Structure 1
Amino acid sequence: MISHLRSAWRYRNFILSAIKGELKGRFAASKIGTLWFVLHPLAMATIYAVVLSKVLGAKLGGVSGDSAYSIYLMAGIAAWTVFLEITNRCLTVFIEYGNTLKKISFPRIALPIIVLGSVLVTHALLLVAIAVVFVFFQHYPSIHWIALPVGTLVIALLAFGLGILLGVMNVFARDIGQVMSVVFQLWFWLTPIVYTRDILPDSMQTLIRLNPVTPLVEFYQDILLYSRWPDFASLLYPASLGAALVLASLLVFRRASAELVDAL
């Protein structure tokens, strides 16, 4: 692990330049650029507010207002999106940059780090956009928002470890990517994002508690919807699992690194 960190540090300028290049490339073909980060959550919130809150009458206990359910959904989706994007991008990053790995000599661990940096920047922009949307709902950001980076870092740790592990496996067994697309769909519905945990039967409660993304989603919901300090102790489980996954993935990555380019 230390050797990977040293390699990443030596190539820090390359990594930073690559992150900037990826972000510029993402917005280069768009005429309104980063404004999409405001329009997307605004459109999503409007759809949920009309379809779910109005038509289906979705309500949240202890929270008043027609926009409460939309805010609840946006909070959960914001946490899930950063987890899913980091994991999915790391899952395919070695295959996506296979030609680059064959032509240019640089630490291979730099690729998932570039992905991580890019996703975290776009997530920060998304949170800014969500704050703007909340103003339209007359639900103003509170002092509790300063705790959000803690939850984001734990999400990044968990997703980064899982993503690298799956990314290495995907190089040698391409079916991994197809299988995980189904797993992530199931995983989404086993996370209290579109529903609250208390509506589930007792038989499902254990499964929901074992889901490491559950406390991370609830961390965001506590801050963004309820404007209260989240339960920091609840992050111990996903943080411990994330640290274990990072160590395991770096060990697997180190052993498979010599054969990685050949497999591509």
Structure 2
Amino acid sequence: MSEMARSVWRYRHFILSSVKNDLKARFARSRLGGLWMVLQPLAQVAIYSLVLSRVMAAKLPGVTNQYAYSIYLMAGMLAWSLFVEIIQRSLNLFVDNGNLMKKIFFPRVCLPFIGVGTALVGNAFLFAATVFIFAIVGHPPTWALLWLPLLVAVNVAFSLGLGLLLGVLNVFVRDVGQIMAVVLQLWFWVTPIVYTAGILGNGFRSIIALNPMYYIVTGFQDVMLYGKAPQLMPLLWTALGSVVLLGLSFIVFRRAAPEMVDVL
């Protein structure tokens, strides 16, 4: 692991330039460019808000802002969009870069960090737009936002750990990408983003409690909507599990890397 960390540090300029080139290629010939990273999730929030705001607004105790449900949604979507972006990029990371891996010598461990870097840039734009919209609707930022770096770090660790394992597996079994497209849709609905966990029965709530994204999303909502610290003990266990998963994924990646190049 220390050797992989040193490789990432030595090739940090390669990673940064690759992130920059990836963003340029993603929005080439697009008039709105990087704004699409913000407009797409905000459009989804607007749709859910229009459909469910009157039903769900009363389910948010302790909040008097008439746009409380929209704020709740945006906070949840900020966490979820980062998770999905990293998962989706990690799934096809090695398949899409197969020729690059064969023709150019560089530490293969750089590829996951390029994907994470691109996802973080997009999420930063979405965060800036979210805070700006919050201020417009009368919900200015609070000191609780200082908890966000921790929440983002846990989110990235869990997303990259899971995504890297799936990405390695997808090299050998291409059905993994198709299956995960369905799994992510189901996962979205067992995470309290559109609804609140308080409206659920005890049985379903116990199932959701097994979902690591539940604690990450709830942390974002606590910080951004309620202006309070996230629940630290559940978040701590989620963080520990994410670090273990991340370490395991890098071990699997390191052992599978030589075979991956041959398969690709």
What TM-score range do you get, normalising by the shorter chain? Answer: over 0.9
Q: Which amino acid aligns with 1:4?
A: M
> 1:73 corresponds to which residue?
73
Instruction: Say if 2:233 is the partner of 1:233.
Output: yes
Deviation at 1:228, TM superposition (A): 1.6
Q: Which amino acid aligns with 1:10?
A: R
SS in 2 for 1:210: coil
Distance (Å, rounded) in 1 between the aligned partners of 2:196 and 2:156? 24
SS in 1 for 2:226: coil
> 1:98 corresponds to which residue?
98
Q: Which amino acid aligns with 2:68?
A: A
Q: Which moved more, 1:230-239 or 1:203-212?
A: 230-239
Distance (Å, rounded) in 2 between the aligned partners of 1:42 and 1:160? 24
> 1:116 corresponds to which residue?
116
Deviation at 1:44, TM superposition (A): 4.0
SS in 1 for 2:149: helix
Q: Which amino acid aligns with 1:168?
A: V
Distance (Å, rounded) in 2 between the aligned partners of 1:93 and 1:118? 12
Deviation at 1:71, TM superposition (A): 0.8
Q: For 1:121-147, what per-residue CA distance to the aligned partner results, in whole angstroms no more than 9, with x for missing partners?
A: 111111001011112211111121121
Q: For 1:216-246, what per-residue CA distance to the aligned partner results, in whole angstroms no more than 9, with x for missing partners?
A: 0011001111112222332112211111111
Q: Is the 8 A contact 2:41 2:81 kept in 1?
A: no
In structure 2, the CA distance between the partners of 1:37 and 1:113, relative to structure 1 (3 Å rule), is: closer
Deviation at 1:100, TM superposition (A): 1.1
> 1:246 corresponds to which residue?
246
Distance (Å, rounded) in 2 between the aligned partners of 1:108 and 1:69? 43
SS in 1 for 2:72: helix
In structure 2, the CA distance between the partners of 1:201 and 1:175, relative to structure 1 (3 Å rule), is: same
Q: Which moved more, 1:45-54 or 1:130-139?
A: 45-54
Give every structure 1 segment of 4 or more consecutive aligned residues whose post-TM-superposition deviation is greater than 6 Å. none
Q: Matched residue pairs, number?
A: 263
TM-score (norm 2): 0.93
Distance (Å, rounded) in 1 between the aligned partners of 2:132 and 2:40? 12
Q: Which amino acid aligns with 2:163?
A: G
In structure 2, the CA distance between the partners of 1:75 and 1:52, relative to structure 1 (3 Å rule), is: same
Alignment of 1:114-193 (within 5 A): 114-193=114-193
Distance (Å, rounded) in 2 between the aligned partners of 1:39 and 1:168? 31
Distance (Å, rounded) in 2 between the aligned partners of 1:34 and 1:140? 25
In structure 2, the CA distance between the partners of 1:53 and 1:162, relative to structure 1 (3 Å rule), is: same
In structure 2, the CA distance between the partners of 1:39 and 1:259, relative to structure 1 (3 Å rule), is: closer
SS in 2 for 1:257: helix
SS in 2 for 1:141: coil
Q: Which moved more, 1:77-86 or 1:32-41?
A: 32-41
In structure 2, the CA distance between the partners of 1:115 and 1:57, relative to structure 1 (3 Å rule), is: closer
Deviation at 1:36, TM superposition (A): 3.8
C-alpha RMSD of matched pairs (Å): 1.7
> 1:209 corresponds to which residue?
209
Identity %: 49
TM-score (norm 1): 0.93
Deviation at 1:57, TM superposition (A): 5.9
Q: Which amino acid aligns with 1:126?
A: L
Alignment of 1:4-15 (within 5 A): 4-15=4-15
Distance (Å, rounded) in 2 between the aligned partners of 1:19 and 1:35? 17
Distance (Å, rounded) in 2 between the aligned partners of 1:148 and 1:57? 25
> 1:195 corresponds to which residue?
195
Q: For 1:193-227, what per-residue CA distance to the aligned partner results, in whole angstroms no more than 9, with x for missing partners?
A: 11111111111122111111111001100111111
> 2:29 corresponds to which residue?
29
Q: Is the 8 A contact 1:41 1:133 kept in 2?
A: no
